[in-house]
Amino acid sequence: MYRISELGEIVRLSRSALLYYEKLGLIKGQRQRNGYRVYSDEDAQRICLIQNLQAGGLSLQECKAFVDKKLDPCVLEKRYQRLSDDIEQKQQAKSLLAALLGKSSSKSWHQSLMRIAPDAHLKWLQTQGYSEKEALRLKWLSKDMNAHEQYMQDFFEVFDGLERWGPGTDEDTLHALKMLPSKPHNLLEIGCGKGAATLVLAKAIDAQITAIDNEPSALDRLTEQLSVNGLKDQVSLLNMSMTDIALPDESFDAIWCETSIYVMGVEKALASWKRLLKPGGFMVFNDLVWLADKRSEAATEFWTTEYPDMQTIDTRKSQIEKAGYELIDTFTLDDKGWRNYYESLEQRLAELMPERPKSEAFTDIAAEIAIYKNYLAEFGYQFFIVKKAK
């Protein structure tokens, strides 16, 4: 038998807490002849049980109901659920700290933050010393700060060997151009890369073209190509970020953006690039969209991570309208455009993979190609030809 002070030491509770337990009927002291109350092992064990239940989120009253076999199982179920959520949250917080300390990969944290708070994520990366360009790259390509440099290097080695950095063909560019009600005289191309569309446009129309990208090596390559094709005077190249285009308002009849708008996000791009268009000016862009209502688990999981803002054609249409544009036409890129892209990508991987079979970037690119090959009917690249309405 224990006196109250001894029991308090065993169960690490104060005298007043024990008296409160007694008042609730959770323990029952026996008064001795000398007036002291003493408690049994059974009391001590009951308190241990209650402390465990409390750690699971039960209130003292609920613990009492449990001990008296009067607790509604629904209450236990609710507490169980809440505890599971708390543990999950704590696990995530732990993973974040581990990732920030370089003890583990930060990939999953980046991926989930990108989904729930994309702008805050980008800003946070910039506060960590990444330039906007690096932060956008990190956001879209690696998502793992600790493996970033090697990842970027490998990734770039693959793409450096390719002329086209996204799906499509010259015919697709020309097809979209034909859909414009009038030919532009001043055109701004955003995210031109090495000029897959730039060269086609410059040859097809008698327009002054300004093409921007933030990758100097791509702009260098395009400069060479423009010289070879005698198009240097028609196209001005600018190393500039699409997120902050320092060009005057209403300076273009048309904006062209092939396979690049995702970097900024469609809604954001529609809103912030609009000022660059003359009244009634056109914008042509293409974007990865869901085509099928029924989607495989593999494709859904892949794109939810890789392009969380992927939408259906109808959602994009209503976003276009909401942003103050009128949809003129739209079409889906066919298989040829995809093969044109992923077959050269695959060939490049086959050349590089044997040198670094464990490269994360190579593995990711291979996984992406597998998704294209197996599930292409479920998603696709959709061209949108729109007009600035107001």
Q: Under the criterion CB under 6 A, does residue 199 sit at the interface with ligand SAM?
A: no
Q: Is 363 left (phi over 0), alpha (psi -120 to 50) or beta?
A: alpha
- Residue 256 vs 290, nearer CB to ligand SAM: 256
Q: According to CB under 6 A, which residues from 209 to 268 bind ligand SAM? A: 212-215, 218, 241-243, 258-260, 263
Q: Under the criterion CB under 6 A, does residue 340 sit at the interface with ligand SAM?
A: no
User: In whole angstroms, how close is the CB of 95 to ligand SAM at the nearest point?
Assistant: 28
- Residue 26 vs 188, nearer CB to ligand SAM: 188
User: In whole angstroms, how close is the CB of 106 to ligand SAM at the nearest point?
Assistant: 21
154 touches 167 (CB < 8 A): no
- Residue 30 vs 131, nearer CB to ligand SAM: 131
- Residue 200 vs 299, nearer CB to ligand SAM: 200
Q: Under the criterion CB under 6 A, does residue 382 sit at the interface with ligand SAM?
A: no
Q: Under the criterion CB under 6 A, does residue 172 sit at the interface with ligand SAM?
A: no
Give CA angle at 74 (45, 49), nearest 5°.
Answer: 5
- For residue 28, what are the CA distances in angstroms to 8, 360, 390? 14, 64, 79
Q: Which helix (H) or strand (E) holds 31?
A: strand 30-31
- Residue 191 vs 380, nearer CB to ligand SAM: 191
Q: Under the criterion CB under 6 A, does residue 165 sit at the interface with ligand SAM?
A: yes
Total residues in contact with ligand SAM, by rule CB under 6 A: 21
SS3 384: strand
Q: Under the criterion CB under 6 A, does residue 191 sit at the interface with ligand SAM?
A: yes
Question: 48-54 contacts: CB < 8 A, separation 24 or more?
Answer: 48/11, 50/21, 50/26, 51/11
Residue span binding ligand SAM (CB under 6 A) among the ranges 43-51, 70-78, 94-102, 163-171: 163-171
Q: Is 325 left (phi over 0), alpha (psi -120 to 50) or beta?
A: beta
Residue 37 has φ and ψ, to the nearest 5°, of -100, 140
User: In whole angstroms, how close is the CB of 195 to ligand SAM at the nearest point?
Assistant: 8
Rounded Cα distance between 66 and 68, Å, is 5
Q: Under the criterion CB under 6 A, does residue 299 sit at the interface with ligand SAM?
A: no
User: In whole angstroms, how close is the CB of 245 to ligand SAM at the nearest point?
Assistant: 9
Residue 280 has φ and ψ, to the nearest 5°, of 80, 10
User: In whole angstroms, how close is the CB of 238 to ligand SAM at the nearest point?
Assistant: 9
- For residue 291, what are the CA distances in angstroms to 276, 286, 300, 340, 341? 31, 14, 12, 20, 19
Query: What type of residue sits at position 113?
Result: L
Residues that bind ligand SAM (CB under 6 A): 136, 164-166, 191-193, 196-197, 212-215, 218, 241-243, 258-260, 263
